[in-house]
Structure 1
Amino acid sequence: MVVVASTLLFIIVGVVIAFTTSHHKLTEDSATDGLPANNPIRQPWIWPLPQTWQRGNQTIEFSENVRFDFEGSSSILNKAVQRYQRLFFLKETHPMIPYNWSTTSTIVAYVLNKIHIQVQDISEELSIETDASYSLIILAAQYDRVQIKAKTVFGALYALETLSQIVRWSPVHQTFVIPNAPWNIIDYPKYKHRGLLLDTSRHYYDVQDLHKVIDTMSWNKMNVFHWHFLDATSFPYASKAYPQLANKGAYSPVHQYTNDDIRNLVQYAKERGVRVIPELEAPGHSTSWAYGIPEIVSCVNKVPYAGFTVQPPSGQLNIANSKTKEVVNTIIDELSELFPDSWFHASGDEVIMNCWTNDTQIVSYLAERNMTIMELFRSFVIDMQNHIRSRHKTVMVWQEMLLEYNFTLPTDTIVQIWIGSSGVKAATQKGYKTVVSSSDYWYLDTGYGKPRSNPYSNVPGAGYNHWNRVYSYDIRANLTEDEANLIQGGEVCMWSELADRTNFEGKIWPRAAAAGERLWSGYETPTGETIASDDAILRLLPWRELMVLRGTMASPLNQGFCTRNPLDCFQVEHIQTA
């Protein structure tokens, strides 16, 4: 099969896709007007920073007729190559932060026209254990290919992303080049779980919005989209068994996620190396269930809400009603089919006992059985979690289950920490694997003032977590080696009280990228050198510009003058970590 388009030639899995192009004539004339006087490149402009890298000072032309050579069959890799045909050749003739061309030769060593990809295991299964490592070799001698090696197709995706950040338009050579060759990169993630939580209940985001989030996550080598799609405010999930939940609980008929929407999003994410983990918010924050099935929710819309919920509207699942368990288990069954990932988030946060102790049905239920409310609560959540496990899922919960309610949880439970960084120590001391999202560092929604329904501006750490505070957070702090080894990774969290599809990208990026680098690159190089924020900002500035060029509306890190002259603004003494 031959398809004619505009810029590239691919040979993949026996399929030839031909492209035509005009060739840029090389010139040594300088076209670097406005080049900043201080534009150091101590580290390569790659985000996140690779584990090991070596580079030189030669320049190679990157042919717009480049060919991809891959042995085997992988639809995921085929589609990735098609995406990167665009990303390789994004041309910005007047960048805000030009590359320092004085670091690489003005003479082109040769023309590179082939990318050879070697994958050890072409299985397209994606899980927490998927190997993401890769190597990328570009020689400076007369050798016409890039060599990519990876154990999985997903490692190969990360290699393509790294290569796309090395290739750039050269105003000196008037073509696309690979500067500072030769390159030898060996790379792998520090943590397996590198995530972003997005709340799509308080405000609805359409599927195309979620695609953009996942695209940008993949560029930052983040691999978990934690989908918080149900909450007190709306029930946008279109259940097959209980359609009335979304029909009456969503903001409108168009503010729903159908089964096809979910399947397509999960596949879209997988093709970019991103797992999708659903969160079933229960038994707290459950008002929206009441509009479709009123009998399964307690203390619905109590006014004033204080004492019944942390923010309106009030409502928690009625844990004494047998119908509640029936509905919850059915929803779990549906979601387990729609979300193939082996992890399932069972929530469990911010439960207010007063909601239940003011429900006459629950009070009678407890009296008849001589039970306490905590005993009934524990019975409900353990039954719920056991049902999730029966679907061959690993259960993930918020930290209150372990550290506030003091429930004894199965040792395979993943505990997500959010109430301050001290919870990491408390959970790992008990021997539990953790995912870190400490709100005082990695919440992206705080610091925008206090809407009436948002209590978090009154708690410690609820200020704005700027990029360097995000970057400064060491999730291993004060842990023993054994405790640190229980950390699976982390997530930044974008709750949507004050975010919707008009402004969410600028609130997420580039701050999420700062956490993404810590989760991929870690805090020290393999040789023990600290990866410091004053070096990171010199890479984050051009990376933010490239994300914008690719279509992500990432917020600026400072005024344009500072982007062009970073050392005038981002000197070490000017960078605060708290």
Structure 2
Amino acid sequence: MEPSPRGEAVLTETPADQVGPEWTPALGAASPTLMYDRTSVEKTWKTRIMRRNFIIGAFILVVVAAVSSVITFTLVAPRPSLPVGCDASMLLGTDVQVPVAALKYMCTDNQCVQLNLTKDERTKASTTTGPGIISLRVCEMTCGNGSMLPMPQSVAFSNPTTVPVDIESFSHSITGNIENNDLVKAMQAAFASALAMRSHLALGGTSTSGKSVKIVATIQSPITKLTLDTDEAYEMSIADTTVTIRAATVYGYRHALASLLQLVDWCDLTRTFRMVAAVSIKDKPAYKHRGIMVDVARNFIPMPIIERLVRTMGMHKLNVLHLHFTDSSSFPLEIRGEPRFNQYGLYQSNMVYTQARVKDLVTFAKAHGVKVIPEIDAPAHAGAGWQWGPEFGLGELTLCWANTPWMAHCLEAPCGQLNPLNDNVFDLLDVVWKEIGAMFDSDVFHLGGDEVFFDCWIDSPVVAEKVLNKTNHAEYVAIWAGFQERVQNKLWARDPSKKITLWSSDLTSAPYFSQLPTDKVTVQTWNMLWMNEPRLFTDAGYHYIASFQEAHYLDCGLNGVARKDNGWCAPYKTWQTIYDQPFNPNVTAENNHLVLGGELVLWTEVTGASALEDKIWPRASAFAERAWTNPSLNWSNAMDRMTIAAHRVVESGSAADMLQPLWCRQHPGECTLLLK
């Protein structure tokens, strides 16, 4: 016997005087005879039986796998994972009979305490509710300070009662000059869509018809452009099924709707959606600029995921999505006036943000109270998309492009830094500014400006010949400042009102930042400790945005890019670190007005589309409360609400990491070790 190419056993022709696997008949030898051997035959039949059983087993496995794949495709929702409390409804449908839960909750000492339902209460639960029969979700809405996040500046519950409502019967009535505005209609549609997402919680359907809710709003200003000066404040009160909103602008109105969403939830005891019946809220943001920056150049992030991020940002009253569109690795933003940016700068042809799609994003974001700020990084972090200059007679547009070893000319592969002395660079940038102006309606444009690596310019003859002393740092900063001035002037020639943001760098440090106008340039500082930048900038009269790598960099502590480590900015930034970090460390009281707010930052060297949301949420929920409320208490005050917020993100259709086992939400305060 010997194995066949398929791995099965076969009879082997063997001469009577030769037995063994090594034997091979010599050339010209007599034909071998078939040797009968009882042991061999028994082995052969055993092998055939095993083969048959194997085939039958494999067939069964294939059938089971096929059926399982159909069931999985039919029953299991794609990522993000199933929302809390909706697993059974996703698997069983909405027409199943669901047993009444045996647990109720009571608000005791500002916490929801789990209790067993009595037999009589279980009988009545499907038709009755009251202070003694409430579910966890209903208890959370009104117990203590409630479950809202970010917490409003002022919230007062008149009593803890709730009313059953029909989530498909919310009507809107608006007074003011903006009554029929398309943006208002889009905001109302987004609100209705968010309510509709709750329907999966109603496993088995609702037991009774809820009441209709009337939203009566007054919006004072017809202005719809979201700027740093936009008034986002609102007041809201609920009396039974009437919601009254007063806001200066559509954005305050939208924020009120976002708060209202957190005051409506599902009660699995009474099988109804319920809304808080009596509450008064006065609210406004602590900071004007409350954002998230996402790098979409190092790894491409598809637009549907960006839109989902925007939607979840709106839930948290975050108002800025800063997109780092270009870097030395790719140029994915469509520029029609110069197609070579994309021809030479795309990873692949479908990894592009078309102008039509970008405009749709801007419109979509406004309906969620979010402004999209584009960043085209320059002069550093500019390689792919710029490397075609010599071929077309425009000279070196980018220097040090993809040089190896890259460590000599940049901080990360591939290298690439714009040629500050090539006039064609500025003409091409002007093409970019023109088209960006048509795509975005932001009052702010981000010019990047970080991590200029002087060794790249030192080793480039076109730059070196302009420098008197190669070791004189100030000469290279002067070249950089000249580049920056020309770029700014090109931009302001098109729109004199446009504000510019730059990353903190050598150019924004003393004494060089004096060349940047304080009334038009904002610094986004990523260093809290180094050179005490927050105090430095505000003392010099500059506005700044806090993006401290010590607290706000979401990619820290995950993985090294070029070596075995946890990344340059380790450790991982926990939500507690983010929550407790003020935006204005060491800033004097008289200069606090110069602190515009903050941004979380996610560079995507080690992040792809599939993991983007998990790395942002719920850490961004903690950031949202710091940016909107600026609480005086530390993270421990937000622990239970943060757990709820993480579940709320997933229930909205996005993805988020969990902070605790679900048991901990059901037993508030019992999982947290607080070191006072």
| TM score, norm. by length of structure 1 | 0.85
Write the distance in 2 (CA, Å) between the matches of 1:155 and 1:488: 18
The residue that corresponds to 1:399 in the other structure is 504
1:449 matches 2:559: yes
> Are 2:134 and 1:134 equivalent residues in the alignment?
no
Q: Relative contact order (C-alpha < 8 Å, sep 6+): which is higher?
A: 1
- Counterpart of 1:196 (choices 292, 298, 316) is 292
Residue by residue over 1:407-431, the C-alpha shift from the partner in whole angstroms, topping out at 9 and shown as x without a partner, is 3211121000002353212211211
Amino acid at match of 1:120: Q
Q: Deviations over 1:101-144 (max 9, x none)?
A: xxxxxxx9x9453111211123322211111111111125xxx4
DSSP 3-state at the match of 2:582 = coil
**Residue 120 of structure 1 contacts residue 151 of structure 1 at CA under 8 Å; is this kept in 2?**
yes
Query: Which residue of 2 is the match for residue 374 of structure 1?
Result: 477
Instruction: Work out whether 1:383 is the aligned partner of 2:483.
Output: no
How far is 1:279 from its partner? 0.8
In structure 2, the CA distance between the partners of 1:571 and 1:453, relative to structure 1 (3 Å rule), is closer
Cα gap change, 1:379 to 1:469, in 2 (>3 Å): same
Deviation, 1:234, is: 0.5
Partner of residue 161, structure 2: 58
Tell me the alpha carbon deviations over residues 485-539 of structure 1, each in whole angstroms, 9 at most, x when there is no partner: 210011000110111111000001110111111110112xxxxxx3331121111
In 1, are the aligned partners of 2:556 and 2:568 still within 8 Å (CA)?
Answer: no
Who is 1:75 aligned against? 182
* Cα distance change, pair 481–167 in 1 and its aligned pair in 2 (3 A): same
1:42 is the counterpart of 2:149: no
Q: Which amino acid aligns with 2:186?
A: K
Q: How much has 1:243 moved relative to structure 2?
A: 0.4
Matches within 5 A, 1:132-531: 132-140=232-240, 144-179=241-276, 181-293=277-389, 295-366=396-467, 372-390=475-493, 391-392=495-496, 393-400=498-505, 401-403=507-509, 406-408=512-514, 409-412=516-519, 413-421=521-529, 422-452=532-562, 457-459=567-569, 462-523=570-631, 530-531=632-633
Equivalent of 1:27 in 108, 118, 128:
128
Amino acid at match of 2:562: R
> Residue 39 of structure 1 contacts residue 565 of structure 1 at CA under 8 Å; is this kept in 2?
no
Could you say what secondary structure the match of 2:500 adopts? strand
Distance 1:374 1:476, change over 3 A: closer
Output the CA distance in 1 between the equivalents of 2:343 and 2:502.
Answer: 28
Give the distance between the partners of 1:362 and 1:217, measured in 2 at CA. Answer: 44
**Structure 1 residues 259 and 306: CA distance shift in structure 2, 3 A:** same
User: Is the partner of 2:609 in helix, strand or coil?
Assistant: coil
Q: Encode CA deviations 1:325-349: one digit per residue, 9 max, x unaligned.
A: 2212221222122222111111110
Unaligned runs of 5+ in 2: 1-124, 391-395
Q: Secondary structure at the match of 1:488?
A: strand
Q: What is the CA–CA distance in structure 2 between the aligned matches of 1:35 and 1:517, rounded to whole Å? A: 21
Q: In 2, Cα distance between the equivalents of 1:415 and 1:449?
A: 28
Cα offset, 1:83, TM superposition: 2.4
Residue 550 of structure 1: aligned partner:
652
Cα pair 2:295 2:603 within 8 Å, conserved: yes
What amino acid maps onto 2:245 in structure 1?
I
Change (3 A) 1:284 1:387: same
> Is the counterpart of residue 533 in structure 1 residue 640 in structure 2?
no
Report if the CA contact (8 A) 1:112-1:145 is conserved: no
CA contact (8 A) 1:280 1:346 kept: yes
Structure 1: where are the runs of 5+ without partners?
1-23, 96-107, 524-529
8 A contact 2:346–2:385 mirrored in 1: no
1:521-571 CA deviation, whole Å, 9 max, x = no partner?
Answer: 112xxxxxx333112111111111111011110111123333333412223
User: Is residue 417–residue 436 contact of structure 1 (8 Å, CA) maintained in 2?
Assistant: yes
How many residue pairs get aligned? The number is 525
Asked whether the 8 Å contact 2:375–2:448 carries over to 1, the reply is yes
SS of 1:80's equivalent? helix
Partner-residue secondary structure (3-state), 1:489: strand
Two-structure CA RMSD over aligned residues (Å):
2.8
SS in 2 for 1:250: coil
> Which residue in 2 is equivalent to 1:124?
224
Q: Is the 1:246–1:292 contact (alpha carbons within 8 Å) kept by the matching residues of 2? A: no
Q: In structure 2, which of residues 646, 654, 662 is the aligned counterpart of residue 560 of structure 1? A: 662
**CA distance in structure 2 between the partners assigned to 1:83 and 1:322 by the alignment:** 46
- 3-state SS of 2:256 partner: helix
Distance 1:374 1:193 in 2: 29
What residue is the counterpart of 1:115 in the other structure?
215
CA contact (8 A) 2:143 2:160 kept: no
For 1:4, the equivalent position in structure 2 comes to none
Contact 1:28–1:173 (8 Å) recurs in 2: yes
Separation in 2, partners of 1:521, 1:198? 23
SS at match of 2:421: coil
CA distance in 2, matches of 1:35, 1:124: 35
Query: For residues 345-394 of structure 1, what are the alpha-carbon distances to aligned partners after superposition, in whole Å with 9 as ceiling and x for unaligned?
Result: 111100110000101122224469x9933322211111112222222311
Structure 1 counterpart SS, 2:262: helix
| Distance change >3 Å, CA 502–CA 474, structure 1 → 2 | same
Distance 1:438 1:454, change over 3 A: farther
The corresponding residue for 2:99 is none
Percent identity between matched residues is 27
- Change in CA separation of 1:377 and 1:261 when aligned onto 2, cut-off 3 Å: same
2-structure distance, mates of 1:33, 1:58: 12
In structure 2, do the counterparts of structure 1 residues 487 and 39 end up closer, same or farther at CA, with 3 Å as the change threshold? closer
Q: Please name the residue that 1:98 is paired with.
A: none
Match for 1:115: what amino acid?
I
In the alignment, is the contact (CA less than 8 A) between 2:534 and 2:586 conserved in 1? no
SS at match of 2:217: strand
In the alignment, the residues of structure 2 paired with residue 572 and residue 221 of structure 1 have an alpha-carbon distance, to the nearest angstrom, of 28
Q: TM-score, normalised by structure 2?
A: 0.73
Q: C-alpha separation between the residues in 1 aligned to 2:340 and 2:220?
A: 48
CA distance in 2, matches of 1:260, 1:537: 41
Letter aligned with residue 131 of structure 1: D
The separation in 1 between residues aligned to 2:137 and 2:370, in whole angstroms, is 37
For residue 66 of structure 1, report the CA deviation from its aligned partner. 3.1
Q: What is the CA distance between 1:307 and its match in structure 2? A: 2.6
- Corresponding residue number in structure 2 for 1:20: none
1:194-252 CA distance string (max 9 Å, x none): 00000000011121111011111111100011110100110111212210111111101
Deviates more, 1:235-244 or 1:157-166: 235-244
